[in-house]
Amino acid sequence: MRSATAVAVLATATSVLADTVSLDSSKRGLCYVKGENAADDAIWDNANGTLKWYYNYQAQPTSGIDDRLQFVPMLWGTDGQNSGFYQTVKGLIDGGRKIEYVLGFNEPDGCSNGGSCINPQVAASTWRSEIEPLKELGVRLGAPAVTGSLQGFTWLEDFFDACNGGCTADFIPVHWYGNFEGLASHMGQVNASYPNQTMWITEFGLPQQSAAATTEFFNQSLSYFDRTPFVTHYSWFGAFRADVSNVGPNSALLTSKGQLTDMGASYVGLTEAEAAKASSASSTATIAGWSMIVVAAMFWTLA
């Protein structure tokens, strides 16, 4: 049972959320992480939602996400061989899909927790052959998204040195996991290092913290991004269910049953009634899917 104090804190956090976070932001997108419940995908591209774009760490779009959300391809990593990224993106464009942006390597300075672990020289060579030519197709290029650490700054500097002027990034993606003060300071350092570049915050969160602390960080961050001119895009890391979250259950935008949390509804841009309907549709689809499995199993057993 929750204590009266906990309920009061949660109510206060929810009130602040409603007061400070806009339901509609032209900058807000989806950091899509594939889960086991495909029905959840319908929540992210809900017709009443206000998300504008998404990426999925891959070069190809996710089949369960509607074209209403602008897809941003990513070259996650490289071993120095031809990845086919350029041809894949060109194929999407030739096929009629609107591709305005691509993202470079994912945390290439990290060799664990999702990092692509790439030598800066190898990354520079791959960029020149697979990413830079997309400029000629009118695509804007996102620099490699390094970790929010001194190691990340060093790697990115080494990368641009290795490029020797041949890697012309149009914006700097940023990852941050920690408190708001650290986030604001880190963004200031990035802006000072690359003053002529706009910034995308493609992963951010406050892992393994209480609901109240997470909500406060969420409020502060989104409000800050929305009013900061050099930030043009951002995506919260938490588009999954609470029971599979590797950053703590309070960072997830969905409950363990696939229902939007208050924070999730606000992020997607749905009113309370719209969020309840979207969550209900997702839960119904999941139940229906399991029902089909059970029925199929029964027929197989009887046969």
Name the strand (E) or helix (H) holding 138. none
- What is the C-alpha to C-alpha distance for residues 131 and 73, in angstroms, rounded to an integer? 11
**What's the confidence (pLDDT) of residue 280?**
55
Contact in structure between 40 and 241 (CB atoms under 8 Å): yes
Sign of the dihedral through C-alpha 145, 23, 228, 135:
positive
- Helices H / strands E in the chain, number of each: 9, 8
- 289 pLDDT exceeds 80? no
Q: What is the pLDDT of residue 251?
A: 98
What digits encode the pLDDT tens for the residues 25-74? 999 999 999 988 989 999 998 888 999 999 999 999 999 898 899 999 99
Q: Using alpha carbons, select from 19, 17, 22 the residue that is nearest to residue 225.
A: 22
Contact predicate 199/172, CB 8 Å: yes
pLDDT given for residue 64 in this prediction: 86
pLDDT for 182-239, tens place per residue?
A: 999 999 999 999 999 999 999 999 999 999 999 999 999 999 999 999 999 999 999 9
Q: Examine residue 224 and state whether it is found in any structural domain, yes or no.
A: yes
Is 4 part of a structural domain of the chain?
no
pLDDT of residue 60: 97
- Residue 15 is predicted with a pLDDT of 38
Q: Does position 292 have pLDDT exceeding 90, yes or no?
A: no
Residue 3 lies in a domain: no
Query: At residue 121, does pLDDT exceed 70?
Result: yes
Task: Please list the alpha-helical segments (H only) found in 194-271.
Answer: 211-227, 262-268
Cα→Cα distances 129→14, 109, 269, Å: 48, 20, 39
Mean per-residue pLDDT, 113-118? 93
- Backbone angles phi and psi of 150, in degrees to 5: -60, -35
Model confidence over 67-104: pLDDT tens digits?
A: 899 999 999 999 877 789 999 999 999 999 999 999 99
Picking from 141-150, 179-188, 198-207, 275-284, which range would have the lowest pLDDT averaged per residue? Answer: 275-284
User: CA-to-CA distance for 124 and 130, rounded, in angstroms?
Assistant: 10
The total domain count for the chain is: 1
**Amino acid letter for position 282:** S
Reading the block at residue 9, the tokens are 């804190």
Note down the domain range covering 297. Answer: 10-302
Whether residue 4 has pLDDT greater than 80: no
- In the block, tokens 């509609």 appear at 24
Q: What is the mean pLDDT of the chain?
A: 87
pLDDT at 284: 53
55 or 291: whose pLDDT is higher? 55
Q: Is residue 14 part of a domain?
A: yes
Tokens of 173: 């993606």
- 43, 255 contact by CB (below 8 A): no
pLDDT category at 263 given cuts 50, 70, 90 is: very high
Indicate whether 264 belongs to any domain. Answer: yes
Domain assignment present for residue 293? The answer is yes
Residue 47's pLDDT is what? 85
Task: With cut-offs at 50, 70 and 90, classify the pLDDT of residue 5.
Answer: very low
CATH number for the domain spanning 92: value is 3.20.20.80
Which residue(s) pair with 70 in the sheet? 53
Residue with tokens 């009629």: 96
Lowest-pLDDT choice from 36-45, 146-155, 159-168, 255-264: 36-45
Residue 2 lies in a domain: no
